[in-house]
């Protein structure tokens, strides 16, 4: 009997070690236990915002699909409708990865030294701390899903941007302060399109 008990304890050891390793890895990547996460699924319809708000920012409409509050700060997703060519300034996020998925139109995304041309069904990933910029380059309406992980204060950033008006604000110093307040750094102009 004692031999059998030792064997069971020995077999449990790898599982316990794996669980501890995963927990340590999650902590190293900034994962947090989330108690503010919702307990139910939800639906957000096409061309609708999660909270029925209208955010007109940088020449487009940003419809919130998954909120910071829904995920305890782990994830944020916007469906953006672009009505005109262009996009934001060259920037980087200190804590967020950003992912783009094109639904309609043609976009250029520059991540570091790489320039990526995207059409419907294409996606691009911009890791945190890497300078990136994107712009719609086609005529007519465009649509791109934009995802931030973790969410950080990006949702608040977009609300504050909407208060500056529907177009890209001209006062660069106001923009620099706003971006810095939300863990981002403006590094240069938007892409010329």
The predicted-structure confidence for 48-86, as pLDDT tens digits, reads as follows 999 999 999 988 999 999 999 999 999 999 999 998 999
pTM over 0.85: no
Q: How many domains does the chain have?
A: 1
Cβ contact 174:164 at 8 Å: yes
Contacts of 32 (CB under 8 A, 6+ apart): 72, 73
10 domain residue, yes or no = no
25 located within any domain: no
Place of tokens 């320039």: 115
Q: Model confidence over 9-32: pLDDT tens digits?
A: 555 555 555 555 555 555 554 544
**CATH number, residue 103:** 2.60.120.10
Distances (CA, A) of 11 to 3, 5, 19, 20, 165: 12, 10, 14, 15, 62
What tokens does 137 get?
Answer: 């380059």
User: Is 78 part of a structural domain of the chain?
Assistant: yes
Q: Is residue 111 part of a domain?
A: yes
- Across 30-53, average pLDDT: 81
Based on C-alpha coordinates, what's the Rg of the chain?
A: 21
Does residue 39 lie within any of the structural domains? no
| Structural domain includes residue 14 | no
- pLDDT band for position 100 (cuts 50, 70, 90): very high
In a domain, 29, yes or no: no
Residue numbers of the domain that contains 81: 55-186
In a domain, residue 95? The reply is yes
């Amino acid at each position: 009997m004692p031999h059998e008990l030792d064997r069971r304890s020995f077999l449990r050891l790898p599982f316990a070690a794996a669980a501890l390793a995963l927990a340590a890895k999650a902590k190293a990547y900034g994962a947090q236990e989330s108690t503010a996460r919702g307990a139910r699924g939800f639906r957000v319809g096409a061309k609708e915002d999660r909270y029925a708000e209208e955010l007109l920012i940088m020449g487009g409409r940003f419809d919130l699909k998954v909120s910071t509050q829904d995920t305890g700060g782990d994830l944020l997703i916007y469906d953006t409708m672009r009505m005109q060519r262009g996009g934001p300034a060259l920037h980087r996020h200190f804590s967020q990865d950003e992912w783009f998925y094109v639904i309609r139109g043609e976009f250029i995304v520059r991540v570091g030294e790489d320039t990526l041309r995207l059409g419907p069904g294409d996606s691009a990933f911009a890791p945190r701390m890497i300078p990136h910029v994107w712009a719609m380059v086609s005529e007519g309406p465009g649509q791109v899903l934009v995802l931030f992980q973790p969410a950080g204060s990006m949702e608040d950033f977009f609300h504050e941007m909407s208060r500056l008006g529907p177009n890209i604000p001209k006062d660069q110093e106001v923009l620099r302060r706003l971006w810095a307040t939300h863990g981002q750094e403006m590094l240069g102009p938007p892409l010329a399109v």
